[in-house]
Amino acid sequence: MKSFLSLLAFAPAAFAAFGVETSGSSMVVDSGDALVFTVSTKSGDITSIKYSGTELQDKSKFTQLSSGLGSADVTSTVDSGVAVVTISTNIITHYYIVREGENTIYIGTNASEEPEVGELRFIARLNKDAVPNGIPESEVDGGSVVEGSDVFEIDGETRSKFYSSVRHIEDNVHGVTGDGVGVYMVIPATSYEKSSGGPFHRDINNQGTAQQELYWYMNSNHEQTEAYRTGFFGPYAMAVTSGDAPSADLDMSFIEDLGLDGYVASSDRGSVSGTYSGTLDGLDVTIGFSNSDAQYWASASGGKFTRDAMLPGTYNVTLFQGELEAGTGSVTISAGGSASVDLESSLEIPETVWSIGTVDGTPAGFLNADKIEKMHPSDSRMGAWGPVTFTIGTDDESAFPMAQFQAVNDPTTISWSAGSGDIGERTLRIRTTSSFASGRPKITVNKWSSDTPAAPAKIDSRGVTRGTWRGNNQVYDYVIPDGTLVAGDNTIEISVVSGSSGETFLSPNVVYDSLELI
C-alpha cells in the first residue's frame, strides 16, 4: 500500500505546492496554482498540460519544438520560486520556465544551427475538446484539398493554417480558447530578433485539425526573403488563462538572472533614436534594423522614433513608407550606449499623368486585396479576377486586380484617352510586392512592345495563395518612345511573362503595388 501511494505522489496531477518531480520518463512541473504540465525526459516533449484539472494536451501528438527533437537530455532546477526545465541536444538548448503562482510557461530556445528535425517552431498540439475555438480561417478539419497539402475547402470556403498569419510587427499575442480556458502565445517584439523577414513577414499561428494546433514560428521557408538567423529565440511564453488574452507586456525580466545559454541581458544591449522625413502623409512609417545577427523594428510617428534592447553591432537601417523601402542608413549599437540616426526618403515623387494605387509596398485598395490574407484566390467570395480592362478616369482602383496570374487573368488592359499635352515620350512605372515562378510584367502600348525585364530574385515558396503579398518589392520602368502614345484612345496591355509555367493560381504571377504614368 505504501509503494502505491508513493507512485501516486509522482503522477501527472496537481501537487500540493510548487515544484518539479521526476518519476521514470516523466517530469511533472506544478506552478503552485492551476497549471501542471509533464515533460518527457526522453524527448523533451510536453505530454500533459492540465489547467484546474482539465487536460489541455492532445494525447496523439505532443507539444514540442520543431517536429520533435527525437531524443534529448532533460534536467531541472528549482530555486527561489523559479523552476527551469532544460532540454538539450547537440545544437539546441530549449527551456521551460515557471514562476511560482503563475500559470505561464516562459520559453527560450537557443539554436546554434537550423535543426534537421523540421522548421524551427514551437507547436502546442492541444485537446480540441478543451479548446475548440481557434482562428476560423485556419479550421481545416474535414476539408477537401484545394492546393498542396495545406489549403482546403469547407462548406464552400477556403481555409488554411496560413490564413492565421499576422504581420510580425503586430503579432505579439495570439491564442485559442474553450469553456473557461485560453491558451496564448506571447511574443515580445525583442523575441523576433533572431527570426528573419523583417517587420512585415508573417507566419502560421494556428491550425484546427483533429487537434488544436497553436504555433510560434521562429524560422520557416514560407516566402522567406532573407537567410535564417541562429542564436537565442525569446524569451516567449505560453500563457494559460481562464479565457481572456494576457497582456503583451509580460514581465520577463527575472529571466536575466537564470544564466540561460545564449541569452543576452539588458545591460549588454543598447538603444537608438532618430528622425525621419519625406514620407507620404497618411501612411504608417516603420523603421527596420538588420544585420546577419539580428533584426528589429520600431513604429515611428511625428518624424521621430526610438528602439531599445538591441544587441551590439552595426545595422542597416530602412525607412519604410507603408511596407515600401523609402530610405536607408546605418547605425552602430554598443552595449549600454545610445546611438542616433537620421533618415530621409529617397523615393522619387514624380509629376504623373495618372496613377493607380498608392506607393506603399502593398496592394491595398485593389480588387480582392481586402480578402487575400484570409482566403485562397479561387474562393467563391472573391471578386471575379478578369482579365480586367481598366479605364483611366472612369474606374475606381478597386476594379484593378491586386494580383495577375498568367493562367487566370492575363492580360490586364488599361484604356486611356490622352490629351495632346499628355503624349510624347513617357515612362510607365509598375511596382510589385511579390512574384511567383519568376513572373514579371511586360507591356504593350498600342503597337509598341517593351523588352522583357530580367527575372526578379526567386523566392522558393508559394506566396499569394498562402495569404501574403510580402515578397521582394520590385520597380519596373518602361520608357514608352515618342510617337507611341496618341492624342485620343490608347491601350496599355500588361502581361505576366516567365520562363516557367503552371496551372491556374500556381501559374507565374505578380502582386501589384502601384502604377504611374510619368
Q: Are 361 and 321 in contact (CB under 8 A)?
A: yes
Strand 354-356 to strand 19-23: parallel, antiparallel, or no bridges (unpaired)? unpaired
Measured at the alpha carbon of residue 238, what is the angle toward residues 235 and 244, in degrees to the nearest 5?
125
The mean per-residue pLDDT over the stretch 429-444 comes to 97
Give the span between the Cα atoms of 402 and 433, in whole angstroms. 10
Q: 204 Cβ partners below 8 Å, 6+ apart?
A: 121, 138, 161, 162, 164, 165, 215, 217, 220, 222
Is domain 354-517 classified as CATH 3.30.70.1140?
Answer: no
The tens digit of pLDDT for each residue in 216-253 reads 999 988 988 999 999 999 999 999 999 999 999 999 99
Give the span between the Cα atoms of 88 and 74, in whole angstroms. 7
The tens digit of pLDDT for each residue in 377-417 reads 999 999 999 999 999 999 999 999 999 999 999 999 999 99
Task: Provide the residue ranges of all domains of the chain, joining segments of one domain with +.
Answer: 59-257, 266-344, 354-517
**pLDDT given for residue 288 in this prediction:** 98
Give the span between the Cα atoms of 176 and 182, in whole angstroms. 6
What is the pTM for the complete model shown? 0.93
Q: Exposed, middle or buried by CB within 10 Å (0-12, 13-18, 19+), for 39?
A: buried
| Residue 406 per-residue DSSP state | T
Give the span between the Cα atoms of 296 and 25, in whole angstroms. 40
The pLDDT > 70 percentage for the chain reads: 97
Q: Are 334 and 298 in contact (CB under 8 A)?
A: no
Name which of 48, 55, 54, 2 is nearest 25 in CA terms.
48
The mean per-residue pLDDT over the stretch 120-130 comes to 97
Give the span between the Cα atoms of 209 and 162, in whole angstroms. 14
Give the span between the Cα atoms of 84 and 258, in whole angstroms. 9
Measured at the alpha carbon of residue 436, what is the angle toward residues 433 and 438, in degrees to the nearest 5?
100
The mean per-residue pLDDT over the stretch 286-312 comes to 98
The tens digit of pLDDT for each residue in 358-374 reads 999 999 999 999 999 99
DSSP secondary structure of 216-238: EESS--SS--S----EEEEEEEE
Is domain 59-257 classified as CATH 3.40.50.720?
Answer: no
Give the span between the Cα atoms of 175 and 135, in whole angstroms. 8
Categorize the per-residue pLDDT at 115 as very low, low, confident or very high, splitting at 50, 70 and 90.
confident
**pLDDT given for residue 9 in this prediction:** 39
Give me the residue label for grid cell 488563462.
241
Is domain 266-344 classified as CATH 3.40.30.10?
Answer: no
500, HSE (Cβ side, Cα atoms, 13 Å): 16
Q: Determine the 3-state secondary structure of 138 from DSSP.
A: helix
Q: Are 360 and 369 in contact (CB under 8 A)?
A: no
The tens digit of pLDDT for each residue in 158-207 reads 999 999 999 999 999 999 999 999 999 999 999 999 999 999 999 999 99
User: Given a cut of 90, is residue 13 above it in pLDDT?
Assistant: no
**192: which 3 cell numbers?**
523576433
- For residue 411, whether the previous peptide bond is cis, meaning omega lies within 30 degrees of 0, is yes
CA quadruple 229, 231, 233, 235: dihedral sign = negative
Q: 2 Cβ partners below 8 Å, 6+ apart?
A: none
